[in-house]
Chain A
């Protein structure tokens, strides 16, 4: 049994990172955060004393052992969260694959995300553009530095918030803690943030969220109005005797064909939900690539 010794917290964290190689990046971020917080709490102001760090790390556990605990735990959670009926339904079942999307809550939550993304997109976009230009404009004054610092901190916090939204609505594992950062003076931290690829990718994501949000929102609203309109048209026709016309020329749909509107409505809903799921998965991949540390 090779007993590894660690005299710096950063060494222990990098050993843990290595031991968790290949694990979900979101899990990695949580594990590193909890570990660092624990060691810092235990060490207090002895964080730079090699002997104290060594003792604390030994008490905390071998990195391999800790990594295993995280992996085992995640495996159990995933197993427990996996809904039972999904396993029993045959995957190749065409009917199931086509219609299950309607009863799957994740389709509807993804649709909600598409509607919501216009609002968050506007907020993120405004925030980044304002923050960047304000920092640039004020950089000639001394006040520009704290403004930029606050802006960077807010971007990191918003990345976590967006991650929570994406995990809830798009059903993809995202970090539950802030990304760990090297301890040190304010200046060192600032340099760490500036050198972190993720800071810039997060800003890019926040800017991208506006055009994406506009596209998502327009698509969702158009599809939903089409579905609801086709659903309501026959009812309006029967109740109020309103004729249903198609196109500018005003071709009147004959009465016998009105129930077909419902069929069409359902077909469009089905297609929309499939597309929404697909877009949701693609967007979740984008969010993971840009917001989570690799």
Chain B
């Protein structure tokens, strides 16, 4: 992996971002569902973003701004329910809560994710071993 660090290339940078975006499209919904499944109370957007940031030690791959369209879509598809409540400070907040449908989807997603991870990892490990 050292070669990437030695030659920081703008093209590589852009490529990396593009690939990350593709992967995020699949992983961000799982993360959001998982957070809301564990939460004991409805959460609003910023609270979710903060949770992600804290739990990933600042190494979060998805920017907070990209979470909102996903939240909205999942609510429109019935995976989340949402309601707006006035807040003491600032504008009213939209609180999200996972639905039964959302929990079912999360379970399916979890299985698919684990299978994908188990499928990919051995090949990447083998490739790294060859390089060593």
On A, residues with C-beta under 8 Å from B are: 1, 30-31, 33-38, 40-42, 44-45, 59-62, 65-66, 68-70, 72-74, 76-77, 176-177
Does B104 reach chain A (CB closer than 8 Å)? no
Known: A59-B53, A77-B73. A35 touches B68 (CB 8 A): yes
Looking at chain B, what size class is its interface with the partner chain?
A: 20 to 34
Q: CB-nearest residue of chain A relative to B25?
A: A72
Specify which chain A residues have a CB less than 8 angstroms from the CB of B91 in the assembled complex.
33, 36-37, 40
Cα A72 to Cα B72 with chains together (Å): 13
Specify which chain A residues have a CB less than 8 angstroms from the CB of B49 in the assembled complex.
38, 42
Segment at the A interface, from B34-42, B58-66, B112-120: B58-66
* SS class, residues of chain A in contact with chain B: helix
Specify which chain A residues have a CB less than 8 angstroms from the CB of B45 in the assembled complex.
34, 37-38, 41
Cα A34 to Cα B82 with chains together (Å): 13
Whether the Cβ atoms of A70 and B94 lie closer than 8 Å is: no
The distance from the CB of B17 to the nearest CB of chain A, in whole angstroms, is 8
Specify which chain A residues have a CB less than 8 angstroms from the CB of B44 in the assembled complex.
37, 41
Does B13 reach chain A (CB closer than 8 Å)? yes
Does B70 reach chain A (CB closer than 8 Å)? yes
* SS class, residues of chain B in contact with chain A: helix
Specify which chain A residues have a CB less than 8 angstroms from the CB of B53 in the assembled complex.
59
Does B76 reach chain A (CB closer than 8 Å)? yes
Cα A251 to Cα B57 with chains together (Å): 86
The distance from the CB of B118 to the nearest CB of chain A, in whole angstroms, is 27
Specify which chain B residues have a CB less than 8 angstroms from the CB of A72 in the assembled complex.
25, 69
Specify which chain B residues have a CB less than 8 angstroms from the CB of A65 in the assembled complex.
63, 65-66
Does B122 reach chain A (CB closer than 8 Å)? no
16 CB-based A-B contacts, threshold 8 Å: A31-B69, A37-B44, A37-B92, A38-B46, A38-B49, A44-B89, A44-B90, A45-B89, A69-B65, A69-B66, A72-B25, A73-B72, A74-B69, A76-B73, A77-B73, A177-B94
Does B131 reach chain A (CB closer than 8 Å)? no
Question: Which one of A34, A44, A77 lies within 8 Å of B68 (CB-CB)?
Answer: A34
Known: A38-B49, A45-B89, A59-B53. A1 touches B69 (CB 8 A): no
The distance from the CB of B60 to the nearest CB of chain A, in whole angstroms, is 9
Cα A42 to Cα B69 with chains together (Å): 18
Cα A42 to Cα B87 with chains together (Å): 13
Whether the Cβ atoms of B73 and A61 lie closer than 8 Å is: no
Whether the Cβ atoms of B64 and A38 lie closer than 8 Å is: yes
Given contacts A62-B63, A73-B69, 19 further A-B contacts (CB under 8 A): A31-B68, A34-B68, A35-B68, A37-B46, A37-B90, A38-B49, A40-B89, A42-B49, A44-B90, A60-B63, A61-B64, A61-B66, A65-B63, A66-B63, A69-B65, A70-B68, A73-B72, A73-B73, A76-B73
